Amino acid sequence: MSTSSIAAPRCPLPADAVLLAAGNSTRIATVGRGVPKPLLAVQGEPILVRNIRWLAGAGIRHIWVNVHYRGDLIRAALGDGAAWRVRIRYSEEPTILGTAGGVRKLLPWLSETFLVVYGDNLVQLDLPAFIASHRARGAEVSIALFDERTPNTGMAGGRVALGDDDRVASFVEGPADSKAGPFVNAGVYAVEKGVLADFPEGRFLDWGKDVFPVLVARGARLSGYRIEGYCLGLDTPASYERGMALIGSGQVRLP
């Protein structure tokens, strides 16, 4: 049974979300030309703005954005969040801390359950249903997944193997491993605050390479949630081109 088909009651979203935007943007430099990749335009609107509007529309009211490369441009584009009726705060990273290290830095200010969203992805996902599933399963982390066989998706991400009850059995970051199955990390997580407490603060940490494998080895409850909509990773010239083609052809329709 798909996690997304569980008849869990809808429930309020967590108070906080962390929107990851602190990369160097080197892989997409030929497209970005000095603009951070989360600010690349998609149908005339920056990716980050689309994600903030999505989070705000679902009921999130507090959003942290971590910044490194051209953080000044990101701040100028987003401001304090008043335009979307949210409060945006920024976490400066003079040295990049990684996808999980940047979240670990913010742990004292985050609610017990919070969302993590990759700032250079566009995902169609019912957030209240995602959180309801996370809570119904008693998960410590829930990972939104897309099926690479679905035609309206395209991105590079960690491959996730699912066991019984859609529990994450293994997580392989890097090149695709067909033995792990067709499910790929979509870059949206529901996280219980305690899972990061034992990881060191102030060091580089990556969710896929450093955190998820440790949690799986410990027997922590990591749950996969299969999304039914699109998932576009826009972090390389090839993936950006594919995303634009899917949107241009009408296979992906953005709100």
So what's the pLDDT on residue 4? 44
Condensed to tens digits (0 to 9), the pLDDT of residues 226-237 reads: 998 888 887 777
197, 183, 190, 185: which is closest to 135 by C-alpha?
190
**Which amino acid is it at 140?**
E
Give the Cα separation of 60 and 89 in Å (integer).
13
**Is the confidence at residue 6, as pLDDT, over 50?**
no
**Residue 158 CB-half CA count within 13 A:** 24
Average pLDDT over residues 91-113: 96
So what's the pLDDT on residue 33? 59
**Is the confidence at residue 164, as pLDDT, over 90?**
no
Question: Mean pLDDT over all residues of the chain?
Answer: 87
Average pLDDT over residues 19-45: 77
So what's the pLDDT on residue 111? 95
Q: Among the listed ranges 118-127, 169-178, 186-195, 245-254, which one has the minimum average pLDDT value?
A: 169-178
Condensed to tens digits (0 to 9), the pLDDT of residues 168-200 reads: 988 877 555 556 678 889 999 999 999 999 999
Indicate the DSSP class of residue 229. S
Please say whether the structural domain 14-249 has been given the CATH code 3.90.550.10: yes
